[in-house]
């Protein structure tokens, strides 16, 4: 009887605590939404000020066709991520962690691992109050360390680049293709046929007269489609 009474008392005592915690998190989320939206919209405005000033203040507008082509090419590659990332990352990041991560960037390679590592270190489950607060602190610490290291490197790198001879600077435009080539080789070693398909399609598409943004889009879509068909064909052979 006494045990049942103690159990009942514990349950009754837990209710106000749960309600209080829920109300506290509601207030916390309200502030997170307020400051998160304020900072994100502020950054968007600041990001647009410079190109608008260059375009209409200094008369350096490149033309809407160039802007639209560049945007379409970029969106054709990355637009799906705009919708998938917030949904995929939210359970781990939480409300405040999502705002900080999308404001800071480097979500997949910094913010998300920092949040997951912090939660694992303290034994917090994603989707809980403890998990959200832990993720926010982990992301905040990672972002702070990132900025402390990154700013001196950027400033120092600018100085180093300014004293590099022009004949060496002329190879800088080749860095990005070299990176893409290294990434292609890395994945092609696992599935050589995929690398052959990607290179073949890329060469064929680039020989056509398609606009640049359509070339990128067709290369990605055709490569993925053909590789999927090859995998399905391989599975059917193994099944038979």
**More confident call, 217 vs 55:** 55
How many structural domains is the chain composed of? 3
Q: Let me know whether 72 and 136 are in one domain.
A: yes
Which of 61, 87, 106 represents a domain boundary (last residue)? 61
Q: Let me know whether 31 and 70 are in one domain.
A: no
- pLDDT-based confidence at 22, cuts 50/70/90? low
Give per-residue pLDDT as tens, 39-57.
Answer: 999 999 999 999 999 998 8
Domain coverage including residue 51: 1-61
Distance, CA of 196 to CA of 161 (rounded, Å): 36
Q: What is the dihedral of CA 207, 212, 214, 220, to 10 degrees?
A: 80
pLDDT at 29 over 80: yes
Distance, CA of 190 to CA of 182 (rounded, Å): 13
pLDDT at 15 over 60: no
Quick check: is 5 in a domain?
yes
Q: What is the dihedral of CA 22, 23, 29, 31, to 10 degrees?
A: -160
Quick check: is 240 in a domain?
no
Quick check: is 140 in a domain?
yes
Q: Let me know whether 104 and 194 are in one domain.
A: no
Q: Let me know whether 92 and 145 are in one domain.
A: yes
Average pLDDT over residues 26-33: 90
Residues 92, 119 contacting (CB under 8 angstroms): yes
Cα 228 from chain centre: 25
Q: Let me know whether 18 and 50 are in one domain.
A: yes
pLDDT at 4 over 60: no
Q: Let me know whether 67 and 49 are in one domain.
A: no
- pTM for this predicted structure: 0.58
Give per-residue pLDDT as tens, 106-161.
Answer: 887 788 888 888 988 898 888 888 889 999 999 999 989 988 888 888 888 778 88
């Amino acid at each position: 009887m006494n045990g049942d009474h103690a159990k009942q008392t514990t349950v009754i005592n837990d209710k106000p605590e749960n309600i209080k915690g829920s109300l506290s998190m509601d207030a916390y989320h309200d502030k997170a939404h307020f400051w998160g939206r304020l900072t994100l919209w502020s950054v968007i405005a600041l990001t647009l000020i410079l190109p608008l000033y260059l375009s209409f203040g200094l008369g350096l507008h490149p033309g809407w066709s160039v802007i639209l082509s560049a945007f379409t090419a970029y969106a054709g590659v990355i637009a799906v991520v705009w919708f998938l990332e917030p949904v995929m990352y939210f359970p781990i990041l939480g409300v405040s962690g999502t705002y900080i991560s999308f404001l800071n960037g480097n979500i997949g390679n910094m913010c998300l691992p920092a949040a997951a590592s912090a939660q694992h270190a303290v034994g917090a489950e994603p989707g809980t109050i403890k998990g959200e607060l832990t993720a926010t602190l982990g992301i905040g610490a990672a972002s702070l360390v990132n900025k402390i290291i990154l700013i001196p490197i950027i400033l120092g790198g600018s100085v180093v680049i300014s004293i590099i001879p022009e004949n060496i600077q002329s190879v800088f435009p080749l860095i990005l293709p070299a990176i893409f080539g290294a990434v292609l080789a890395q994945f092609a070693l696992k599935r050589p046929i995929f690398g052959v398909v990607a290179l073949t399609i890329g060469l064929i598409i680039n020989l056509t007269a398609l606009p640049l943004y359509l070339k990128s889009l067709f290369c990605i879509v055709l490569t993925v489609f053909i590789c999927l068909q090859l995998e399905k064909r391989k599975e059917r052979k193994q099944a038979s």
